[in-house]
Chains A and B, each alone.
Chain A
């Protein structure tokens, strides 16, 4: 970013003024504007694939395949869904009214909030920037996107193409790091959506509190997998690996963080994982192109510290080789980690998979429930009772049985956290809803005005009122006639 054009308080004020003026013209509310913007956004994903792939490769050595599947195509489908459904989403929802308000009609009208701020993350820098933007635009807002500075190539790609393709009086990108983000957070937004960690999530929420701005926080946590012995082990192992190392090498908010399985089954599971890892990434995973690197040296050192923790030395049963020059760590499995080790007390967000063993699988529920609520929780089993207990007892943003991470791609499921893993959600129509204010509208007529509503208050009026509110026609009748 050009040092001369620093984004400071004054720049922010000017920008906010422009966005508010744009919003007050009403143009972003029109269906035509929203569809046009969504189509333009789609063009970015369709016409610039090579540059996007290159940026993602530069930022995090993301395998082309993952970049296509997890970023570009998810954005394309999200955009296409919004384009297809927008008319329906924008339609007011008629609601029923009761005797108490008779005669009346009522509806719920979706309207944009106004000016929204989207703060994105570095691990899926294309997806996590544009997916919320799709929702914000579909809902008719003006938008400021702040991509993560930890993924600078994608950040500047977004700044360039959003500037080229989108209505720049309404959709803007502000690049930068902590100073720029702080300046943004001082402004008065109508809604903020933040994706990232809970430490910064708290900073965002505190800033929002000053202006009473509603917030969506998409955070993370330690997403556990409970693995039963009654499963198809080969398929389970492959799905676990895909969800863990096949998603940005473990650097994903819903990556499986740790496994809980029985002491008896653990060796079989480890063997199957090792076998499938070999098939996926070969003998020298550090040389595989199908694995992202660790994003930067900060995170690299953090992960090494987890591996080198005294409490887990001797627990590494597979992998863990490191290439400090290329910031790569080979997929690592640690077996029987103690619950008070470092690796079990922070979100791993990397290619280390910890396995905790228990005597009976039922103990796993206590382990999970004694920890902060995660963004996702997984269970592999064919046992119906276990599935029911899992769905009933485990609280997480989302649950997935017999697979990993896939629920993120289902547009009819809300994606968001609970407790420490966040608040609010989006995806599909939930994106439209999260960036809309649903206004209650009631239409009354002048007919049928009941004098019983008004003073002077009398006992008879009280009887009538009680009858109406309790919905009892007989009582209403009796009250009107003055019968006891």
Chain B
């Protein structure tokens, strides 16, 4: 039996108002107002949940969603319009189009690390496509969860967009209901549970997962390039939620002879960006909770791993801070090289030849993001052709996330489905094929009873051999 909130959402959807372009635009604008009028509250919530600096919050959360809304508002009329498709002449007179329509009721599961972006960015897509939505924020980011539960009903159509807070039991209950689509951001372990639950109602899902995102660092000769690369690598590891990001660099691959130079540059960047003493670190997010703190500390406790630490390794348990840590060649079978790190520990794996990085990466599950710092065009081409990942970025990190024309999603164990820009609209739409025919020009050859003439007719027709058809009709072709 359907629960109360679902009934209300179905009624809202059947009323047709969410399909209206005006409704969709008004909801999108409301999201903009929500962000503009509550900026300080958002800064505060994220400071409390994750120790995020306001610049990180603006850059990775508020700014990203605002950009998505603005883009959607400027494109939505185009996205909603039916797309006319070409037809072979044989079908004349006919008209073919693909008409996008909303799926109905969407469930969005949000992860704790980017609790605003990962709630509102999919919401932008779901609303643009004309759906009703339930957002389930993560209980591991309780301040932001409460913020969303408070503000979304205040700014948006509360009978069409709802926030349901809670932990595992609430999530399980949600998964038993009938949804028209589930959008999940999180770990592969929970993704399996979500997808298994989706089977009952044949609910399509998008899974935005993670994985170990490698960064290949080729030898760079120009000093400026090296400096910029090091900054970007550091920012790509520690700059977004202290490594607790699905597209954060997990580990680096570099040639043996170049590794010490790279490590020195990384240390410089770390000291400049964050400071040196674990009690005095700035601009760095905290670890989200005790469970992950202990998990990360345990990764370092393996003696062989501990021995490979070349920088950092200090923790401040009271304030849930782990120092940016660099490790040189920890054992490949240690847990730190088997599981997604999702924290501020950066293993650097050395290779004899940087080209070996391709095989190294291909022998592991496909990551959500792959980074490569190189100016060697042939090597770039090789990486593009021979590796597989959700995305691939050359000479920078994380920034592909803000390019609206690039699909954002995984492959293999890093997930399936995608969003951002128009892909968000598509993710929450059914692309309905529509063919309009008329009663004129009936092709008798299609109907029984069958005979040789009809067979020959269709033979030519199927090859779009119009000349052959004409001749056949004129009795000139056998």
Which residue of A is nearest B404, CB measured? A98
- How many of chain B's residues have a CB under 8 angstroms from any CB in A? 103
Whether B85 pairs with A410 at a CB distance below 8 angstroms is yes
A446-B389 contact in complex given A410-B96, A412-B87, C-beta closer than 8 Å: no
Query: Which of B98, B207, B380, B406 has the most CB atoms of chain A within a 10 A radius of its CB?
Result: B406
A280-B449 contact in complex given A98-B403, A101-B403, A418-B103, C-beta closer than 8 Å: yes
Whether B431 pairs with A414 at a CB distance below 8 angstroms is yes
- B277 touches A (CB below 8 Å): no
A445-B395 contact in complex given A65-B455, A212-B207, C-beta closer than 8 Å: yes
Chain A residues 184 to 205 lying within 8 A of chain B, measured CB to CB, are 190, 198, 201-202, 205
- A323 touches B (CB below 8 Å): no
- A483 touches B (CB below 8 Å): no
Q: List 20 A-B contacts (CB under 8 A).
A: A69-B462, A100-B402, A109-B392, A238-B447, A281-B448, A288-B448, A398-B435, A402-B436, A413-B98, A414-B98, A423-B204, A438-B418, A439-B389, A441-B391, A442-B392, A442-B394, A449-B231, A454-B235, A455-B282, A456-B282
Task: State the CA gap A109–B411 with chains docked (Å).
Answer: 13
- B150 touches A (CB below 8 Å): no
Whether B63 pairs with A439 at a CB distance below 8 angstroms is no
Task: State the CA gap A104–B402 with chains docked (Å).
Answer: 12
Task: State the CA gap A437–B366 with chains docked (Å).
Answer: 12
Whether B195 pairs with A212 at a CB distance below 8 angstroms is yes
A interface footprint on B101-118 (CB within 8 Å = 1, 0 otherwise)? 101000000000000000
Give the segment of B52-60, B300-308, B466-474 that binds chain A. B52-60
Give the segment of B21-29, B153-161, B438-446 that binds chain A. B438-446
Chain A residues 444 to 468 lying within 8 A of chain B, measured CB to CB, are 444-446, 449, 453-457, 461-462, 465-466
- B200 touches A (CB below 8 Å): yes
Residues of B within 8 A of A106 (CB): 400, 403, 405-406
Task: State the CA gap A480–B435 with chains docked (Å).
Answer: 55
- B399 touches A (CB below 8 Å): yes
Task: State the CA gap A453–B234 with chains docked (Å).
Answer: 11
Whether A425 pairs with B431 at a CB distance below 8 angstroms is yes
- A26 touches B (CB below 8 Å): yes
Task: State the CA gap A242–B232 with chains docked (Å).
Answer: 63
Which of B87, B269, B406, B432 meets A397, CB within 8 Å? Answer: B432
Whether B392 pairs with A412 at a CB distance below 8 angstroms is no
Which residue of A is nearest B402, CB measured? A100
Residues of B within 8 A of A111 (CB): 388
Shortest A276–chain B CB gap in Å is: 8
Sample of 5 further A-B pairs with CB below 8 A, known A69-B458, A282-B449: A29-B385, A280-B448, A400-B435, A440-B408, A456-B283
Task: State the CA gap A439–B234 with chains docked (Å).
Answer: 24
Task: State the CA gap A282–B101 with chains docked (Å).
Answer: 43
Task: State the CA gap A242–B463 with chains docked (Å).
Answer: 21
Task: State the CA gap A209–B434 with chains docked (Å).
Answer: 32
Residues of A within 8 A of B64 (CB): 469
Give the segment of B221-229, B250-258, B328-336 that binds chain A. B221-229
Residues of A within 8 A of B431 (CB): 414, 425
Residues of B within 8 A of A290 (CB): 448-450
Chain A residues 353 to 394 lying within 8 A of chain B, measured CB to CB, are 369, 382, 387, 391
Shortest B372–chain A CB gap in Å is: 10
Whether A387 pairs with B436 at a CB distance below 8 angstroms is yes
Shortest A32–chain B CB gap in Å is: 15
Residues of A within 8 A of B53 (CB): 455, 457
- A313 touches B (CB below 8 Å): no
Whether B403 pairs with A214 at a CB distance below 8 angstroms is no
Residues of A within 8 A of B235 (CB): 453-454
Whether B85 pairs with A413 at a CB distance below 8 angstroms is yes
Residues of B within 8 A of A449 (CB): 228, 231-232
- A435 touches B (CB below 8 Å): no
Chain B residues 152 to 192 lying within 8 A of chain A, measured CB to CB, are 180, 188, 191-192
Query: Which of B63, B274, B395, B437 has the most CB atoms of chain A within a 10 A radius of its CB?
Result: B437
- A396 touches B (CB below 8 Å): yes
Whether B85 pairs with A412 at a CB distance below 8 angstroms is yes
- B396 touches A (CB below 8 Å): yes
- A420 touches B (CB below 8 Å): yes
Whether B433 pairs with A397 at a CB distance below 8 angstroms is yes
Task: State the CA gap A440–B404 with chains docked (Å).
Answer: 11
Chain B residues 20 to 67 lying within 8 A of chain A, measured CB to CB, are 53-56, 58-59, 63-64, 66-67
- B137 touches A (CB below 8 Å): no
Shortest B284–chain A CB gap in Å is: 8
Shortest B426–chain A CB gap in Å is: 11
Whether B180 pairs with A419 at a CB distance below 8 angstroms is yes
Shortest A205–chain B CB gap in Å is: 5
Task: State the CA gap A47–B456 with chains docked (Å).
Answer: 18
Residues of B within 8 A of A156 (CB): none
Shortest A199–chain B CB gap in Å is: 10
A interface footprint on B223-249 (CB within 8 Å = 1, 0 otherwise)? 011001101101100010000000000
Whether B432 pairs with A418 at a CB distance below 8 angstroms is yes
Residues of A within 8 A of B462 (CB): 69, 73, 76-77
Task: State the CA gap A76–B458 with chains docked (Å).
Answer: 13
- B3 touches A (CB below 8 Å): no
Task: State the CA gap A205–B198 with chains docked (Å).
Answer: 9
Whether B435 pairs with A401 at a CB distance below 8 angstroms is yes
Residues of B within 8 A of A453 (CB): 59, 235, 239
Shortest A391–chain B CB gap in Å is: 6
Shortest B87–chain A CB gap in Å is: 6
Task: State the CA gap A456–B271 with chains docked (Å).
Answer: 10
Task: State the CA gap A206–B195 with chains docked (Å).
Answer: 8
